[in-house]
Amino acid sequence: QKEVEQNSGPLSVPEGAIASLNCTYSDRGSQSFFWYRQYSGKSPELIMSIYSNGDKEDGRFTAQLNKASQYVSLLIRDSQPSDSATYLCAVNGFGGSYIPTFGRGTSLIVHP
């Protein structure tokens, strides 16, 4: 059974701080890792993807992948109230599986 675990939160950070969101996964053969942002009442929006160990930066967002420890994280620098949302971690499996396993998401609240 493939599992993706996230702390449900809420994670509360002050405006301007770094928000750190974490995700662990069970399938050691997983190859593709994604972060989605979902505002309340809206659909998930893909914000980051990462495929190899290390960091990947895109603007204020940094995705970090450690396959040996089976975790992936998302850092949001200079957090803004507009970053308040639920962040979903998704993992695609080994052998070309195109069906991702989603975590249940972490709720982030950025307060002014």
Partner 1 sequence: DVKVTQSSRYLVKRTGEKVFLECVQDMDHENMFWYRQDPGLGLRLIYFSYDVKMKEKGDIPEGYSVSREKKERFSLILESASTNQTSMYLCASSFQGGAYEQYFGPGTRLTVT
What track of x and - describes contact with partner 1 for positions 17 through 36 (by CB under 8 A)?
--------------xx-x-x
- Pairwise CA distance, residues 57 & 76, whole Å: 10
51 binds partner 1 (CB under 8 A): yes
Q: How far is the CB of 10 from partner 1 (least distance, A)?
A: 14
79 binds partner 1 (CB under 8 A): no
Question: What percent helix, strand, coil does the chain show, rounded to 5?
Answer: 5, 55, 45
15 binds partner 1 (CB under 8 A): no
Task: Give the one residue of 24, 100, 107, 110 binding partner 1; rule: CB under 8 A.
Answer: 100
Q: CA–CA distance from 111 to each of 14, 35, 47, 97 (Å)?
A: 5, 22, 21, 39
Can you give the C-alpha Rg of the chain in angstroms?
A: 13
Binding stretches for partner 1 (CB under 8 A): 31-32, 34, 36, 41-46, 49, 51, 88, 90, 92, 97-100, 102-105
